[in-house]
A and B are shown apart, each in its own frame.
Chain A
Amino acid sequence: MLIRSSVLYAAALCGALVITAGCQAQPEPTAVVEDPSRTQPCAVGAPASGSNRVARTPSRRVAATPCVDLEDHEAAMAHIDGLIEEIEAEGGE
């Protein structure tokens, strides 16, 4: 009885450890989410996977997503224009 209980206890303990370990294997949530772009790296006006085009926003501003490889000329141009537009707009804000 004692042995069986010990085995059960050990099994339960192991299971708990496995579950805990499994949980620990998941990314630990940061206490303070400082940077939304880190948690959603390609969410900002980003193209769908496989595309290297940058979507235009309704205001014709181009999202500057550093998470995509901008190897297409049009995409690179739009990206640079978007950055310049933002920087120039800052003066008026």
Chain B
Amino acid sequence: MKTSKFLLPVLVAAAIVAPERVHAQCLTAAEAQDFQRVLRVRLGESELPVEDLYRLAHDKLGFGVNPEGSLASPPAGTRGFQLDQLAARIAESLTNASTVRRNVELQLGEIPRPGSFPDLPELPPQRYRHAASTMAEAYTETARVTALLVDLRQRLAELPPGPERDRLQLEYVRVQRWRTRVNGDLDAAAPARLMAMTTLGSNVDLNGSLSEFWANHFNIEAKKTSWSAVDYRRVLQRRMCGTFRGLLTASAKHPGMQIYLDNFRSKKGRINENYGRELLELHTLGDDLYRYYDQDDVIDAARVLTGWSVQFTTDAAGVTTPSFGFYPAAHDGAAVTMFDRAPRGISLQIPAGSGESAVTRGEQLLGYLAAHPSTRANVCGKLSRWLIGRALPETVAGCAADAVWGDDGDLTAVYRFLLTRRELWSSTGGLSEAEALALPRSYGIAQKTPIELVASSARAVATPSATVLTDGWLTGAVAAATGLGISPAKVAPPTGYPIGTVWLSAGLVIRMQQHLFSRVGTERLGLPVGGVVRRGEALEAEIRGRVVAAGTNNTALVAVAQDLLRNGLKAPPSVAIPVASQLGALTLSDQNKVTREAAPARTLIQAYLGSARFTRK
């Protein structure tokens, strides 16, 4: 790309900002129709059986198949009709949020207003009371209880021993317990919401998948600001169908990000470079330091963003809203020339500025970064790994081209481009199924992350519905993913969690096996799902009946496994190979936990969930 073409929009960016699309749907009806047509052509070119194309759509564009959900398998009809249906469903998933998702929002959103201060024994048992409220309400409650504690502590320090001090001491303990409750609710909300959405979404759930991608890309660890976590995800979700520049700006200005990476305290003469560094290194240009930028650019970025912080305004009802605030007095408004020292740096000049309007200097920097070729490659590569499972150079180049990315990063165009790549609809990218399973073990192909693994195993065997979503189920799902290596919505490093083959490490495979084989086996399909194991139990009963009928004949058992996995569990025949190899060993190793009668049936399910076919994204 020519530099002049790249710089032109940057220089005028601060003055002319295209209206940002902010909505829950990515495509208009006309766009969806066009996308569906192109996608249908691509699906028609695939050499894969139609069942495999459906499975790819469920695994890569959603969180695994729910056998009871819509389009779990191809409808009856010709291949052409079946592909029509799939293309329509994928296009629809970029157009409408699912009904189930709205139900989850309603359920988690139904909480009492803050302000009441009931005695703890009278509290209802459900959690997420505070967290599902607006960020302003959640923040106000946190700050209010914190202020009470500070005041009580101060008064206690000044009081001599006596009845009044004893009374205050009791009050202090009561408020302290209330604060723990508030913080616990807020702290648990984002992980619970994530697990609910990943497990309850529709079979092709691009809305959920993409929002998880962006939350991970612009990761915040909301321990310091748990009141902001749910709102932060919501803001990203609303912006993820606009431009990358708009999304980047929304992230940069959110109180959650401002506080997480300490930019709120960065001021002229006292720079905090945490956010400036991650902005360049993670959110935009990538970690190729000294190629497009250097350490001085990190400091200059932080200087340009000084004064970007959080402000708090309180309304008449006493509700305080945290929001982005620009403090001109804290801003370092000196003119800077950036990115002209690194070998491949593309120079950016930001003129001096002061007063309220100096906030545009930071916005100019974000605009520059959103249009930068290295940002395009970085984001396109990550998105490609997320949606396709790999990042072929030609795909990244095509995504980053002006025709797709545009100046500010047209994310809808990017999604459409990636979703119509040939390699997405060719499960192994040229390898035969046997080669992919046997030799390089899915070399270059992403594995499911722990969140996806837990969600998809729940969806496969014990899909809960919104009406039976319980605190216990959510807690269990969060704990399971945490045990496998990702604490949902609470990943501490600014990098977020990795995507791709990293989840194939030996240690993790062992932990996954432990999760899927012991926890799943001993706790009725693993996830403490309360009343939502009916499907799992029905499957188990069916399998047990057939296994018992087969007796102890190993050949007959394997035949049953093949049949069940092919027809009952919607799994491809190739899964029968790991099933056959794992049947005996698992039955022995789990015999102290699982009754002999149930073991073969459970083992079949476990083997299905633990197979390479299932754990591969």
Contacts and interface: CB of A to CB of B under 8 A. Distances in A.
Contacts of A66: 139-140, 143-144, 147, 312, 314, 318-320
A77 interface: yes
B314 A67 contact: yes
Contacts of B447: none
Interface string A34-61: 1111100101110000000000011101
A78 to B, nearest CB: 10
A79 B144 CA distance: 12
Contacts of B327: 72-73, 76
A71 B325 contact: yes
Given A34-B117, A93-B176, A76 B154 contact: no
What's the interface size class on B, roughly?
35 or more
Contacts of B314: 66-69
Nearest to A65: B147
Interface string B148-183: 111101100100000000000000000010011001
Of the listed residues A43, A66, A79, A81, the one surrounded by the most CB atoms of chain B closer than 10 A to its CB is: A66
Q: Is the interface of B mostly helix, strand, loop or mixed?
A: helix
Contact of A37 (B147, B153, B154, B330): B147
Interface string B309-329: 111111000111000010101
Nearest to B139: A66
B264 interface: yes
Of the listed residues A41, A65, A84, the one surrounded by the most CB atoms of chain B closer than 10 A to its CB is: A65
A93 to B, nearest CB: 7
Interface in B303-352: 307, 309-314, 318-320, 325, 327, 329-330
A93 B146 CA distance: 14
A39 to B, nearest CB: 12
Contacts of A34: 116-118
A59 B249 CA distance: 37
A31 interface: no
B223 A44 contact: no
Contacts of B117: 34-35
B115 interface: yes
Contacts of A43: 151
Interface in B265-310: 265, 267, 307, 309-310
B148 A87 contact: no
B325 A45 contact: no
A63 B150 contact: yes
A79 B139 CA distance: 12
A36 B224 contact: no
B150 A90 contact: no
A18 interface: no
Contacts of B118: 34
Contacts of B146: 64, 82-83, 86-87
Given A35-B115, A57-B154, A73-B327, A80 B147 contact: no
Contacts of A80: 259, 264-265, 310
B150 A86 contact: yes
A90 B184 CA distance: 11
Interface string B236-259: 000000000000000000000001
Nearest to B313: A69
Contacts of A64: 142-144, 146-147, 150
Contacts of A84: 224-225, 259
B131 to A, nearest CB: 14
Contacts of B176: 93
Contacts of B267: 73
Nearest to A88: B224
Given A44-B148, A82-B150, A87 B183 contact: yes
A44 B318 CA distance: 14
A9 B51 CA distance: 93
Q: Rank and list the top 3 A-B pairs by shortest CB-CB distance, nearest first.
A: A73-B327, A34-B117, A44-B151
19 contacts: A35-B117, A44-B151, A45-B154, A57-B154, A59-B153, A59-B157, A64-B147, A65-B147, A68-B312, A72-B327, A76-B264, A76-B312, A80-B259, A80-B265, A84-B225, A87-B146, A87-B223, A87-B224, A88-B224
Given A43-B151, A77-B264, A82-B150, 7 more contacts: A45-B150, A64-B142, A64-B150, A66-B318, A73-B307, A86-B149, A90-B180
